[in-house]
Each structure stands twice: as C-alpha cells, then as structure tokens.
Amino acid sequence: MRVRRLSREQWAERAWSVAATYFHTPEWYEVWARWQGWTVFALEFGSDGWMPVAVRGRRAMSSPPGTYGGPVTYSTGRWERLWEAARRWARREGLTLQMLTIQRPPWPAQRWETYVAVLPPAAERIPREWRATHRNYWRRTYRGEMTVKALTVDNLDDYLALYTINYERWEEKRLRYDGAFFEMLLGLRGVNGLLAYQDGAVVAGIVAFAHPHSMFHWHALRHPDRKDALGAYRVHYEMMARAVALGIHRYDMLPAPLQRAEQIAFYKRGFGAVPASVWWTA
C-alpha cells in the first residue's frame, strides 16, 4: 500500500468534511505544534483513508491529549486495513503510535465514553430535552443580572482566571494550557467561546469547536465559589443555540475525566446527552 504525505490544502479539504472531526483539522494540530514543539502532518494510506499525525522524538500521536481523532476511512469496510496500515507505518518509522478515536479498532483497546446530545431544529426547543433540574437551573439564570459575552482576546484574562482556580482544585491534574495556547485558539476557524458574568464577576465560561457535523464542547468551567450563579447551564444553552444557528445538531461533550467520572456523566446526561463509545489505543 502506498503511503504519502498530504499537502496542507489536501489535509484541510479532508479534515473539514463530515467524515472527520475538529480534532483532525490542520488548524488544531498546528496550534498544538507551535505550543508543544511537535512536527505535524497528515498521511494517506492508498485508497483506504488518511490520518493526521503529531510526532516528537520516537512518539507519534493521532490524538493529542484531551481530544480524539485517529484514521479516517474512505469506506467503512476498510477500517481494519487502514488501522493496520497506520500501525505498520509507525513500526517502520520506529515510532509508538497513540490514538483516541470514536471508531472501535480491530484489536483490544480500552473503552471510554463520550456524551452526545442531538439538538432539535430550533434553539427554543433545546431545554425540553434536558433533565427537569437542569432546565430549572437554566431558567433561574434569567432572573438575575447575568450577561453572556463572546470570549475574545480582550476578556481572555477573565477566562484564564476561571481556568486557573478550577485547575488548582482538580483532583486529577491534567495537561495545563497557558494563555498563549488559548490566545492562539481564539484565532482559529471554528473556535467559539463564551463567558457568563453576574454582579460584574465572571461565573462560568465555555470553549467549543464547530465542525460540519458536530459542536465539540472542549472546556466548560464554572467558578467553584459561585455555583449558586448557575452560569454553566446558561453558557451550555447559548453554545447549543449557536450550534443550531450554524446548522449543527450534534453536541459532543467529550469523555468525562477518570476522577469523578460517574458524577460528571450524570451532569452531562442532564443536558440530554447519551453515551457513545470511544477507544484508546497505544
């Protein structure tokens, strides 16, 4: 099977198709490369499909941490050939290859779950799909002086303050993104961010990535000392409404972290999201 490196234009054309996800796009990989010092490119495996790759040293990833991606097949019947071709390529290059993907691979892999809400055709119908408590919390955000603003470089410090206070309290320490990374993100195609304010203070924020078939909720944060403000319910609604306005009706909330997985899964289900399998391989 012929393996060739795609041009940046070819990569973008394939990545912004319905078959892929936001985490396959060159935009996402290029930000990652500038921030972490990886080399990024996309490979095509004959007529079976293609795969984005980030390489540093002897390690290759087709899903940077916090995302999923992996190979994209041109035909669902070619999954096994495509996965095996990707693994053979990595072995030939002397690389270890890691992936987190929606598609189940043809060999043993660790199973996780993402949570996906199917959005109705009209934004005003979105809360009808939620658990009653979520719906009531969302309604309460309209009774106070809560305002929602687009996340921009001008108010990025508010989001970073929210991110920092949450990070310091997380039991499971994840990869920590800095201001430079978020600033690069805000300049990308498809990136959407919102902040909720009450009494002049930021109480919640969200960053999501729009792709032709899904809105990928990447980060959603609330101020741990202002949970009573209920801003998280408001920013989720506003982002879902933005997705509907863009003609996107799949809201992917991504896998829950290993710590507090059951609690977070319950929270995500309250937005009408149902579990969908993802698979980790290395």
**What does the pLDDT look like over 11-47, one tens digit per residue?**
999 999 988 999 999 999 999 899 989 999 999 999 9
Please give the distance of CA 96 from its chain centroid, rounded to a whole number: 23
Domain limits of the chain? 3-107, 114-276
| Contact between 54 and 38 (Cβ < 8 Å) | yes
The reply to whether 114-276 shares the fold of 3-107 is yes
Residues lower than pLDDT 50 in the chain:
none
* pTM of structure: 0.92
What Rg, from alpha-carbon coordinates, does the chain have?
Answer: 19
Of 32, 66, 73, residue with least CA distance to 253: 66
Residue 190 in tokens: 């498809």
pLDDT recorded at residue 257 = 62
pLDDT recorded at residue 219 = 87
Of 11, 22, 13, residue with least CA distance to 207: 22
**What does the pLDDT look like over 167-183, one tens digit per residue?**
887 765 567 888 899 99
pLDDT recorded at residue 100 = 82
CATH architecture of 3-107: 3-Layer(aba) Sandwich (3.40)
pLDDT recorded at residue 280 = 81
Sequence-ordered list of residues with C-beta below 8 angstroms from that of 181, at least 6 positions apart, any chain: 31, 35
Sequence-ordered list of residues with C-beta below 8 angstroms from that of 169, at least 6 positions apart, any chain: 224
d(C-alpha 131, C-alpha 133), whole Å: 6
d(C-alpha 51, C-alpha 38), whole Å: 16
Strands, E assignment, 211-281: 215-222, 250-252, 274-281
For tokens 């991504």, the residue is 254
* Chosen CATH of 114-276 out of 3.90.1570.10, 3.40.630.30, 3.40.50.970, 3.30.1180.20: 3.40.630.30
Strands, E assignment, the chain: 3-5, 39-45, 49-56, 59-61, 72-73, 96-101, 110-118, 146-150, 191-198, 201-210, 215-222, 250-252, 274-281
